Amino acid sequence: MQGNRLYEGQKLALKYFMVAIVLFGAQLLFGLVAAIQFLYPNFLFNILDFSIARILHINALVVWLLYAMIGAVYWLLPDEAGIEVVGVKLGNLAFYILTAAVAVVVLVYLFIQIGPGKESTIWFITEGREYIEAPRWADIGIVAVVLVFLYNVYATVMKGKHTGILVVLMADLIALAGLYLAGMFYTDNIAVDQYWWWWVVHLWVEATWEVYVAAVGGYILIKTLNANRKVVEMWLWIEVAMMFGSGILGLGHHYFWIGTPEYWWEIGALFSALEPVPLVGLFVHVLYDWGKERGKGNNIKNTPAFAWLTVETFGNFLGAGVWGFMHTLPQINLYTHGTQWPAAHGHLAFFGAYVAILIGAIYLAIQGKAGLKEMRMTKASWWAITLITVGVLIMSVSLTISAYVQTMVERGQYGGTWEGYFIAQANQWFVQGMGWRLFSGLAVVVGYGFLVYDLLTIDKKQPAEVREGAVAAA
């Protein structure tokens, strides 16, 4: 970055970030609707039923994370490669097409919601498969847009510098995009359907997205701490080895009970049990670098970005590593599968592993856009990070308590029937968990308000000495 001048690729990144933050708000809003319905089932009944609120909640989540991921790549790509993004005009066009398509899909979810039991519904309204409900036409559009993105990345790296971070990202992004194809076909066989569905869901979040995070986390470390590139890249390769080594066959922890062969018990149990190891590694690495640089008396160049990166490493370890491990052995999963357990783990893991680091990347971009050499936390940054992090943590703990009730009462005691399900749902501890989830969700929403305010104003709220540094640099 030369002073205040941004690459065109970085300007495109800012657009992606903007949509991402808007969709994050939509995600929280529909999460609240669904959470209210757990306690007051008549809320919006027949208008915006739980299923629709939930689809909007989790689809907005996945889509905004993908937007922010693409944005972060467009941000670091010209910086790392040392040249302008190749084909950035095409990239801009793809951005507008994608955003228009997302808007249409959302409107259809909201106002058409469901269709008759025919192929045409799968093509134009919904595919009805959790997380990837988007209708077939949108799938094809997404693939086309992603191909443009991949072209931009590959062409730019070929022409510019090949840093280790970029090489890992190139390999990872192609796998990430390719996996989406596994979720794009229809079959009458629900077991086969779910088998491939997990290729998208698991091999995204527990393999390709984790490696993505390791690469972008490395970049943030270099930017905020001046961390030694060689050491960062060595760790990156270690992370890749451990994450893919455990995560690819760790897929087996979803193949215990869906009509799959028995050998998956053992493969799924033991490979996924190792998945937390690289997450501990990542955590230790960041703390180590932090201590080292602080020891030398160096300032952190962007404290909000670094704070979010710290939340990421700890949240990833806790949400994915610890909460994931707690229900990953088949002996336990037999009773936790299909309860609030995966929801407790899903919230903390998605937040810890992905939300936190992508917010960090957005702060990095804001610093770059303002041309500041150094950027410090404001009061609003502090409130945002505290309310959102503590809110999600309380939410996950509440869901875990509700999940315990379900495991013990519905599944252990009543063998998982319709009646047993509702006996557990009415249990006071279960209901209290749902109440705390709603309450902590509200805290997250307030934190989101602070976040938006902060992202819009932080560059103007910097102390005088920091702003003078910017003038001197320009």
Partner 1 sequence: MIEPCHDVVCSFWSLLNEGPMTLTIILHTLIVLPMVWIYFDEKKKMERGDIPNE
Partner 2 sequence: MENRPSVWSSNRFWRRSATWVTGVASVLLVFLTFDSMGQMKMGTAADIKNKVDKRIPSPLVINYKIDYKLNKTRGHEIPIIGGMDANGYSKYEEKEKFFGKDNWSEKEAKALIHKGKLTIQAKNCMDCHTLLGNGAYYAPDLTKAWLDPTWETLASAYGGKEYAIAKFLENPPAMAMHERKMPNLGITKEEAKAVVAYLKFMSAIDTNGFPRNFGKIKGAVDARK
Q: Which does 31 bind (CB under 5 to 8 A by kind): ligand HEM, partner 2, ligand HEC, none?
A: ligand HEM
Binding pattern for the stretch 38-77 against ligand HEM, x by CB under 6 A and - elsewhere = ----------------x--xx--x----------------
Tokens of residue 281, six digits: 């590694």
Determine, following the binding rule CB under 6 A, whether residue 394 of this chain makes contact with ligand HEM.
no
Binding pattern for the stretch 180-209 against Fe ion, x by CB under 5 A and - elsewhere = ----------------------x---x---
Residue with tokens 């945002």: 384
Shortest approach of ligand HEC to residue 121 CB, angstroms? Answer: 12
Determine which residue in the list 261, 295, 297, 415 makes contact with partner 1, applying CB under 8 A: 261
**Cβ within 8 Å of residue 325, ≥6 positions away:** 272, 273, 275, 276
Determine which residue in the list 102, 165, 242, 355 makes contact with ligand HEM, applying CB under 6 A: 355
Nearer to partner 1, 119 or 262 (CB): 262
Q: Which of residues 88-147 bind partner 2 (CB under 8 A)?
A: 113-119, 121-122, 125-130, 133
Q: Determine the Cα–Cα distance for residues 262 and 148; give it in Å rounded to an integer.
A: 41
Phi, psi of 368 (to 5 degrees): -65, -40
Q: Determine the Cα–Cα distance for residues 77 and 251; give it in Å rounded to an integer.
A: 31
Q: Determine the Cα–Cα distance for residues 65 and 57; give it in Å rounded to an integer.
A: 12
Determine which residue in the list 11, 36, 43, 49 makes contact with ligand HEC, applying CB under 6 A: 49
Q: Which of residues 263-322 bind partner 2 (CB under 8 A)?
A: 263-265, 267
DSSP state letters, 304-363? HHHHHHHHHHHHIIIIIIIHHHHTTSHHHHHHHTTSHHHHHHHHHHHIIIIIHHHHHHHH
Determine which residue in the list 267, 280, 332, 401 makes contact with partner 1, applying CB under 8 A: 267
Shortest approach of partner 1 to residue 265 CB, angstroms? Answer: 8
Question: Distance between the two ends of the chain, CA-based, in angstroms?
Answer: 11
What is the DSSP secondary structure assignment for residue 375, as one 8-state letter? B
Helix boundaries (H) for 1-135:
8-39, 50-81, 88-111, 119-124
Determine, following the binding rule CB under 8 A, whether residue 263 of this chain makes contact with partner 1.
yes
Shortest approach of partner 1 to residue 167 CB, angstroms? Answer: 12
What is the DSSP secondary structure assignment for residue 254, as one 8-state letter? G
Segment near partner 2 (CB under 8 A), from 73-81, 219-227, 417-425, 441-449? 417-425
Tokens of residue 75, six digits: 């941000």
Determine, following the binding rule CB under 8 A, whether residue 270 of this chain makes contact with partner 1.
yes
Nearest one of 24, 345, 52 to 205, comparing CA atoms: 345
Contact present, 166 and 80 (Cβ < 8 Å):
yes
Segment near partner 2 (CB under 8 A), from 95-103, 185-193, 292-300, 458-466? 185-193
Q: Determine the Cα–Cα distance for residues 440 and 242; give it in Å rounded to an integer.
A: 34
Contact set with ligand HEM (CB under 6 A)? 28, 31-32, 34-35, 54, 57-58, 61, 130, 205-206, 210, 253-254, 272, 275-276, 316, 320-321, 324-325, 327-328, 333, 336-337, 342-343, 345-347, 349-351, 353, 355, 392, 441, 444-445
Query: Where do contacts with partner 1 occur on this chain (CB under 8 A)?
Result: 245, 249, 261-263, 266-267, 269-271
Residues lying near ligand HEC in the complex (CB under 6 A) are found at: 49-51, 418
